[in-house]
Amino acid sequence: MSMRTIITATLLLLLFGCASKDSVAPVPDPPDDPRPWIETLSEAQRNSILWIADHEEGNLDDWDKGGSPNAGGGVFNTGGSDVQAISVPGVAHSGEFAAKTTITNAIRAENGNKAVRLMRWTDKSWEEGGDYFPDTAYYSAWVFMPETCNPNKYDPWDPGDGGWWNVFQFKSNDAAGVSQPMWTLNVAHNDNTGVMSFYFWSSLLQQSFAQNGVVPMPVAEWFHLEARVVASTGPSGRITLWQNGIEIFDLQAIQTVLNGESEKPIWGIGNYTNHIACGGQEGSATIYFDDAAVSTLSLSVGN
């Protein structure tokens, strides 16, 4: 075995961990286009980008600028040493680095919530003259799920919620300036087919939306999620969601922000649940994100 082969195998083990004694979790294929993703977009699309996180600095400063309280975003973890958010090489959608979000010990709701949240609400930090995103904007990210995961809870240990797994969300500040979850994009798992798919849920409004025709979530390959959000404190808001350029939701006549401090959407991606089973093993889940952006034009539809 060559030294290059040994080094490659070692890096893969460090990045993904062993899925079993004899294998490692899937690695995405190299991109068809070696250019940074942003360079593959049209000039109009590039000019419409208000904020982007490509993680090429080798850290998560695109989200939180080193943890500044005025960063206009941040990395928010719940669960102590059971959760981790880092930038890693070798698995990126484009470039070299991607954000890796991992939770562990999320078993049967017995150990509390485990969450990584990468959040953003301004185009730049406040020190740099940042401003809230506009009332209508597109929020997007490339996502890599290494394996099929199941957030479902079963009797006798289901506490009554059936299971949930939040990977993409919109929050809003209330009148006291405290962010509240308005809409979460959750993952459903079909026990009969083993297929994962998305649904929308609002715990504040007690509303849930499933897909009319289920579009399976890709596994072991990069895919694109993009949401167009129209901010409204009344029933005139709208959220349209595309998966790889295919419209899978168009929620109309909904409230999308609270009548609070900012009245603007707070966007987040991440890995958040209190029970998960991936690859048949309970407790741990990893999701990779890359080339996350907020823009005034769609970066997937028609591209």
pTM: 0.90
Q: Residue 28 has what pLDDT?
A: 75
Q: Residue 68 has what pLDDT?
A: 77
Residues 6+ apart with CB under 8 A from 184: 164, 166, 168, 169, 170, 200, 201, 202, 203
User: What DSSP element (H or E) covers 102?
Assistant: strand 97-106
Q: Residue 278 has what pLDDT?
A: 97
Q: Which residues of the chain have pLDDT under 50?
A: 1-24
CATH architecture of 32-295: Sandwich (2.60)
Q: How many CB atoms lie within 10 A of CB 73?
A: 25
Residues 6+ apart with CB under 8 A from 6: none
- Strand locations in 114-220, DSSP E? 114-120, 136-144, 149-150, 166-173, 179-189, 196-202, 207-209
Amino acid residing at 44: A
* Per-residue pLDDT tens digits for 107-122: 999 999 999 999 999 9
User: What DSSP element (H or E) covers 47?
Assistant: helix 43-47
